């Protein structure tokens, strides 16, 4: 007589021996795909914003080939288009999956973050990777169309391209960490709408997402350039347009990396504290 | 025996809509005051958002001084009319922007079951605290602008200015009703609220004549944000002759406000009907 073999646990976790956390990176694109009107609306918002900014800068620069604060018309337009693609894309995508600590705390389901076999910090990080890649796909599509239609100028040199790409990647890390820190404050405040919007304001103003930082008074730009917000948009875009020479890129990249590390450490610390004071509403 | 008493519930005392609105609003304000820090933040948010608008305009103006013959004070009048209009919109109707949130949390469905107009319940859902911030900045901007301007303020001109601000509010309401209707119909299209706010805040502050014809057409006949600032300001500052299309447009804003809102309400009703069938 043969003994029945013990039932084997089924589920994705057994397939490769361990959970494949990287698949969480597809969470955001798939959620977006599930709501197709969102994609239509995002396309509409991004395309019209880009178009409007191009027309605005052309109108302001006029016909002449003047340079304002070291930016000529084509640099200003390129800066503005890229900043819009990077900033608006990101803002519109924000909360796409509603998987923020804020919304999870409000409905109490945040508890699932802490009972899964995957640490909440890693779960969010993988999701963040997906968010970044998805936003990058939008940027690449916009950039390709912009280059093809002549709205956006190509970077001056290959070196500039390389440093701009590197700087963009560092910027995405900083972007994620800033968002995470804001989101984690809701473990203490429950509703972090206020903090959220204040940081969104700082982000818009100090990242160059609204007006190129170059147009601000010098003292404002000098301060702004050394804050983490500039690392997200201003630095990569300035490198791309050649307004910051590739030869001077070293310091800027180092500063971006430094912000990335500092914010990551702050994030780790916050996660640690947040997990300890988790309060589940209604449960 | 005594079955009569339990069978008939006392009929609800009919309450006027305005009374209902004030009661709900008072309760909303109290619930917001429960968290003082968040309350202060909300007011600050209105301020900071408007500051970005003003900053954008002033930074642009300081770097590109010649904006088609309009001086700083005159351009500030365009944005001041729009900002006062926006502040009033946020105060009375700003909750429209919360509809995506209400839908997600299922509260919108509860509104549909109550014996009060859905739109009224949306408008009174939350006390519009950050409108206070918006209005503060709008008032400051308006007073700065009036001190810069050299206008003879006749009674007619003052009334014209007040009417322009009210119409700016109504135009914003009409446009947002269209978007709210779309949001009811197409889940996930809520970024259009952000789009309208951003577009009006960034491009509604300049004399229309600096833009190419296509934008003049869009902002006049498509998404008529030019009537919520530019056209009335052109009359007040004596720039009527530089207005595109027709000089009569400087007086058209009350009509535009009525038309946009009427169309917006119609769209809202259609959206709501669709939602009731399928939501």
Q: Which of A52, A69, A198 sits opposite B48 (nearest CB)?
A: A198
Q: Residue B34: inside a domain, yes or no? A: yes
pTM: 0.75
Q: Residue B244: inside a domain, yes or no? A: yes
pLDDT at position A90 over 70: no
Q: Residue B4: inside a domain, yes or no? A: no
Question: What burial class does residue B114 get, using C-beta atoms within 10 Å of its C-beta: 0-12 exposed, 13-18 middle, 19+ buried?
Answer: exposed
Q: Whole-number mean pLDDT of chain B?
A: 81
Q: B43 is in which domain, residue-wise? A: 17-278
CA dist A186 and B9 (Å) reads: 44
Q: Residue B3: inside a domain, yes or no? A: no
Q: Are B203 and A56 inside 8 Å of each other by CB?
A: yes
Integer CA distances (angstroms), B259 to A42, A106, A272, B174, B179, in order: 28, 40, 56, 8, 16
Q: Residue B109: inside a domain, yes or no? A: yes
Best probe of the A interface among B195, B199, B205, by most A CBs < 10 A, is B195
**Residue A60 contacts B, CB cutoff 8 Å:** yes
**Residue A215 contacts B, CB cutoff 8 Å:** yes
Q: Whole-number mean pLDDT of chain A?
A: 79
Q: Residue B8: inside a domain, yes or no? A: no
Q: pLDDT tens across B222-231, in order?
A: 889 889 888 9
- ipTM comes to 0.71
Q: What is the reported pLDDT for A6?
A: 46
Q: Residue B230: inside a domain, yes or no? A: yes
Read off the DSSP letter of residue B221.
Answer: I
Q: pLDDT tens across B219-254, in order?
A: 888 889 889 888 998 888 888 778 888 888 878 888
Q: What is the DSSP string of A94-134?
A: TTTT---HHHHHHHTTTHHHHHSSS-HHHHHHHHHHHHHHH
Chain B: give the shortest CA distance to residue A62, in Å: 9
Q: Are A194 and B198 inside 8 Å of each other by CB?
A: no
Structurally, chain B folds into a number of domains equal to: 1
pLDDT at position A134 over 60: yes
More confident residue, A12 or B137: B137
Q: Are A41 and B188 inside 8 Å of each other by CB?
A: yes
CA dist A87 and A98 (Å) reads: 19
Q: Residue B57: inside a domain, yes or no? A: yes
Band of residue A192 on the pLDDT scale cut at 50, 70, 90: low
Best probe of the B interface among A36, A46, A52, A91, by most B CBs < 10 A, is A52
Best probe of the A interface among B67, B126, B188, B192, by most A CBs < 10 A, is B188
CA dist B97 and B176 (Å) reads: 8
- At A71, phi and psi to the nearest 5? -110, 125
pLDDT at position A98 over 80: no
């Amino acid at each position: 007589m043969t003994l029945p073999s013990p039932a084997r646990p089924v589920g994705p976790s057994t397939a490769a021996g361990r959970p494949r956390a990287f698949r969480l990176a597809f969470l955001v694109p798939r959620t977006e795909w599930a709501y197709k009107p969102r994609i239509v609306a995002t396309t509409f918002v991004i395309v019209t914003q880009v178009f409007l900014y191009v027309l605005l800068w052309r109108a302001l620069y006029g016909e002449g080939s003047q340079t304002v604060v070291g930016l000529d018309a084509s640099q200003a337009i390129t800066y503005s288009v890229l900043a819009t693609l990077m900033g608006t894309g990101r803002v519109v995508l924000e909360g796409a999956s509603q998987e923020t600590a804020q919304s999870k705390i409000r409905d109490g389901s945040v508890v699932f973050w802490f009972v899964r076999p995957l640490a909440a910090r890693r779960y969010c990080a993988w999701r963040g990777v997906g968010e970044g890649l998805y936003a990058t796909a939008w940027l690449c599509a916009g950039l390709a169309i912009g280059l093809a239609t002549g709205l956006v100028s190509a970077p001056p040199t290959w070196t500039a391209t390389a440093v701009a790409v590197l700087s963009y990647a560092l910027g995405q890390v900083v972007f994620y960490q800033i968002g995470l820190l804001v989101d984690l404050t809701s473990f203490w405040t429950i509703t972090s709408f206020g903090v959220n919007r204040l940081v969104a304001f700082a982000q818009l103003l100090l990242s160059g997402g609204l007006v190129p930082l170059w147009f601000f008074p010098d003292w404002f730009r000098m301060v702004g350039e050394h804050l983490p917000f500039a690392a997200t948009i201003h630095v990569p875009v300035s490198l791309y347009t050649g307004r910051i020479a590739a030869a001077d890129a070293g310091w800027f990249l180092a500063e971006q990396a430094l912000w990335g590390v500092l914010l990551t450490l702050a994030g780790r610390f916050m996660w640690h504290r947040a997990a300890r004071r988790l309060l589940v509403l209604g449960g | 025996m005594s079955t009569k008493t339990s069978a008939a519930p006392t009929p609800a005392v009919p309450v006027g809509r305005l009374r209902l609105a004030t009661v709900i609003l008072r309760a909303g304000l109290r619930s917001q005051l429960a968290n003082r820090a968040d309350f202060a933040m909300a007011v600050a948010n209105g301020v900071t958002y408007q500051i970005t608008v003003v900053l954008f305009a002033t930074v642009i103006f300081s770097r590109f001084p010649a904006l088609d013959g309009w001086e700083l004070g005159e351009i500030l009048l365009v944005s001041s009319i729009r900002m006062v209009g926006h502040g009033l919109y946020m105060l009375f109707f700003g909750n429209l922007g919360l509809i995506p949130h209400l839908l997600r949390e299922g509260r919108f469905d509860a509104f549909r079951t109550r014996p009060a107009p859905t739109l009224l319940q949306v408008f009174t859902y939350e006390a519009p605290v950050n409108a206070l911030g918006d209005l503060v900045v709008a008032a400051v901007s308006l007073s700065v602008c009036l001190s810069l301007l050299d206008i003879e303020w006749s009674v007619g001109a003052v009334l014209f200015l007040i009417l322009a601000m009210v119409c700016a509010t109504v135009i914003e309401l009409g446009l947002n009703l269209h978007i709210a209707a779309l949001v009811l119909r197409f889940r996930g299209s809520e970024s259009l609220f952000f789009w309208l706010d951003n577009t009006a805040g960034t491009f509604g502050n300049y004399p229309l004549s600096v833009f190419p014809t296509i934008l003049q057409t869009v902002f006049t006949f498509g998404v008529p944000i030019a009537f919520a600032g530019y056209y009335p300001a052109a009359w007040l500052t004596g720039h009527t002759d530089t207005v595109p299309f027709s000089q009569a447009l400087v007086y058209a804003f009350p009509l535009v406000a009525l038309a946009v809102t009427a169309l917006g309400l119609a769209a809202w009703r259609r959206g709501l009907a669709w939602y009731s069938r399928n939501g």
